[in-house]
Amino acid sequence: MPGKYMLNFDSRELHQEDDEYIVLGSGIAGLYTALAASGAGGSVTVLTKCNMMDTNTDKAQGGIAAAMGDSDSPSLHREDTIVAGAGLCDDEAVAALVNEGPKRVKELIGMGAIFDYDGQVLALTREGAHSQRRILHASGDATGAEIQRVLTERVKEKKIRVQENQYVVDLLVWNNTCYGVLAFDRDKNSLKVYRGKVVVLATGGLGRLFEFNTNPEIATGDGIAIAFRAGAEVMDMEFIQFHPTVLKLPGAPPFLISEAVRGEGAYLRNSECLRFMPRYHDLLELAPRDIVVRAILEEMARTGSNKVYLDLTHLDPEVIKKRFPNITRTCAAYGLDIMVDPIPVAPAAHYMMGGVKTNLVGETSIKGLYACGEVACQGVHGANRLASNSLLDGLVFGGRIVDETRQFLKDYHPRHMEFACDWLLEPPVIDFADLREKLEVLMGSKVGPVRSGDGLKESLDFFDCWSCLNRHRADNVEQMEVKNMLQVGELVAEAALARRESRGGHYRADYPDTQRRWQKHIVFRR
Ligand code: SIN
């Protein structure tokens, strides 16, 4: 059982700052929430773990889904989202996403986001499991970077305070009410307390727990770990989405090759050069992600290879260059001409469907603590997120938090509480870098896209063995990160072992079927 804190401290001895909103994270969910809160007259501080631009949002390629095309409608978007979610989507959350999504996207355009156009109309592409072309994109395949740019500019323009390099160690919670956060200022090498009436977790996902992943370095699951330690409920932790096509080239980082490439007609071929998706699903290369991932893994195993190939060579080179300039450039930097050579790819950890449990307005089970974006779980993605719904999720549910809190903030005057911890032992003398590497390998091999009871038990033995670290204080950010990763990895493995069926992003080789009696959520609380 983890303790409540990772460090010994006494808040009375620390520098303290006060705001109405403390927003943790600077991706789309965090910055949009901060802008909405500031627009509603709230005082806001955004804390980021590293640089403001180090976010999953900045890396997003494919786009943002919203029913904005002539032949599209929120109800079609809703249907696709629910089918992809494999029986676990929350209907009301999906309705909020698809109905409010177009308005929020228009707001983003109003803020200055420049999406791609075909003449006078927004250019819309298709991705896996979408029945319509409904994905807006920017600069071809750099949608996230455009959104990050525009939100960052607006935040700076509004003079919203952004404190970079603040590693949030723990939430300050008493009697199930959150009063703020304890943060480690990496620039000043000191601890600080940020008090807030509303603390918003928008810290992103946990892809970095896995050896092969698409996420930036910040994505180590800290938000889930600090919320769980503080007593918040977490839900659907077993549902991790693996992206089917991530560059697998010696010497190259695991760079995402957008699903939109398949949306524009690219084929998947195995190492024998054969197109295989027709044998697996009617939607071929645009089948739901989990199905494409397992098809790829099966082909890799059958042909004894660690990769398959994404083939664009039959497509018009001019279209490829225009639609995918970033992918074209990045592959070229590693000696691959994608007009001529098929791209070697393999599945990698990409997105967390589960997270800190919230209701439809972002409230967690702790008063004053809210969550939105990838760290949150209100059930909108069910067991498997529909492609390009994640950026939209950040906007819609971030906005809802502010709509919900602006009123109650006026009459909410929390007591002034102080916090302390003094019982943690000295930091352990172990090699944390080595431990982290072992954890990442274990997660990839035993808690990855294909799981089994034996493998999951093995991983839980590993986490159990390292639970002794909970008695010790951490010495630095690297140690805190590893402790959070252990915490979150254990939650994923525990939920995956409990769910004795296969559904969406969770596949058990020993329970390959979906079971009606498992059409329910797993919720954990410390
Ligand atoms: C992609 O471009 O394939 C990623 C989009 C997403 O994860 O929704």
Beta bridge partners of 135: 65, 125
**What are the residues whose beta carbons fall under 8 Å from the beta carbon of 318, sequence distance 6 or more?**
none
Residue 2 has pLDDT above 70, yes or no: no
Quick one: which H or E segment has residue 198? strand 190-201
Beta bridge partners of 177: 174, 367
Report, at the CATH architecture level, how domain 425-513 is classified. Up-down Bundle (1.20)
CATH fold for domain 243-347? Flavocytochrome C3; Chain A, domain 1 (3.90.700)
In the reported structure, the alpha carbon of residue 401 is separated from the centroid of ligand 1 by a whole-number distance in angstroms of 25
Pairing of the two strands 121-122 and 117-118: antiparallel
The candidate with the shortest Cα–Cα distance to 308, out of 290, 291, 322, 295, is: 295
- Tokens representing 31 are 């910055």
In this prediction, residue 30 has a pLDDT band, given cuts at 50, 70 and 90, of very high
Report the pLDDT value the prediction gives residue 340, as an integer from 0 to 100.
Answer: 96
Label residue 233 exposed, middle or buried (CB < 10 Å: 0-12, 13-18, 19+): middle
d(CA 149, CA 518): 42
Domain ranges of the chain: 9-239+353-411, 243-347, 425-513
In the reported structure, the alpha carbon of residue 315 is separated from the centroid of ligand 1 by a whole-number distance in angstroms of 20
**Residue 526's Cα: distance from chain center in Å?**
22
Active site residues: 289
Q: For helices 143-157 and 390-410, give the axis angle rounded to 10 degrees.
A: 20
Q: Which atom of ligand 1 is nearest to the CA of 259?
A: 3
- Tokens representing 133 are 């072309």
In the reported structure, the alpha carbon of residue 260 is separated from the centroid of ligand 1 by a whole-number distance in angstroms of 8
Rg (CA), the chain: 22
Ligand 1 mutation target, pool 243, 330, 343, most atoms within 8 A of CB = 243
Residue 394 has pLDDT above 70, yes or no: yes
**Residue 426's Cα: distance from chain center in Å?**
33
d(CA 28, CA 161): 16
Ligand 1 mutation target, pool 147, 241, 247, 259, most atoms within 8 A of CB = 259
In the reported structure, the alpha carbon of residue 233 is separated from the centroid of ligand 1 by a whole-number distance in angstroms of 28
Q: Dihedral of CA 203/207/211/213: which sign?
A: negative
Q: Which atom of ligand 1 is nearest to the CA of 65?
A: 8
Region 268-295: what's the mean pLDDT?
95
d(CA 439, CA 267): 34
Considering all CA atoms of the chain, what is the largest pairwise distance in Å, rounded to the nearest integer? 67
In the reported structure, the alpha carbon of residue 163 is separated from the centroid of ligand 1 by a whole-number distance in angstroms of 29
Beta bridge partners of 355: 235
Phi/psi region, residue 130 (left: phi>0; alpha: psi -120 to 50; beta: rest), is beta
- Tokens representing 154 are 């607006």
Ligand 1 mutation target, pool 127, 293, 326, most atoms within 8 A of CB = 127
| Strand ranges in 238-382 using DSSP code E only, listed in sequence order | 240-247, 267-269, 308-311, 343-352, 355-357, 369-371, 376-377
What CATH number belongs to 9-239+353-411?
Answer: 3.50.50.60
- Residue in the structure block whose two tokens are 């009375």: 12
Structure confidence by residue, pLDDT tens digits, 244-261: 999 999 999 999 999 999
Residue 62 has pLDDT above 70, yes or no: yes
CB-defined site of ligand 1, < 6 Å: 61-62, 258-260, 351, 387-388, 390
Q: What is the DSSP string of 147-199?
A: HHHHHHHHHHHTT-EEE-SEEEEEEEEETTEEEEEEEEETTTTEEEEEEEEEE
Residue 1 has pLDDT above 70, yes or no: no
Structure confidence by residue, pLDDT tens digits, 196-240: 999 999 999 999 999 999 999 999 999 999 999 999 999 999 999
Neighbouring CB atoms inside 10 A of 186's CB total 15
Average model confidence (pLDDT) for the chain?
A: 96
Q: Whose CA is nearest to atom 8 of ligand 1?
A: 388
Report the pLDDT value the prediction gives residue 288, as an integer from 0 to 100.
Answer: 86
d(CA 342, CA 112): 36
Region 149-160: what's the mean pLDDT?
97
Structure confidence by residue, pLDDT tens digits, 467-478: 999 999 999 999
In this prediction, residue 128 has a pLDDT band, given cuts at 50, 70 and 90, of confident
Report the pLDDT value the prediction gives residue 418, as an integer from 0 to 100.
Answer: 97
d(CA 203, CA 156): 20
Structure confidence by residue, pLDDT tens digits, 63-117: 999 999 999 999 999 999 999 999 999 999 999 999 999 999 999 999 999 999 9
Q: Which atom of ligand 1 is nearest to the CA of 61?
A: 2
Contact 271, 303 (CB under 8 A): yes
From residue 191, give the alpha-carbon distance in Å to each of 215, 293, 469, 519.
27, 43, 21, 44
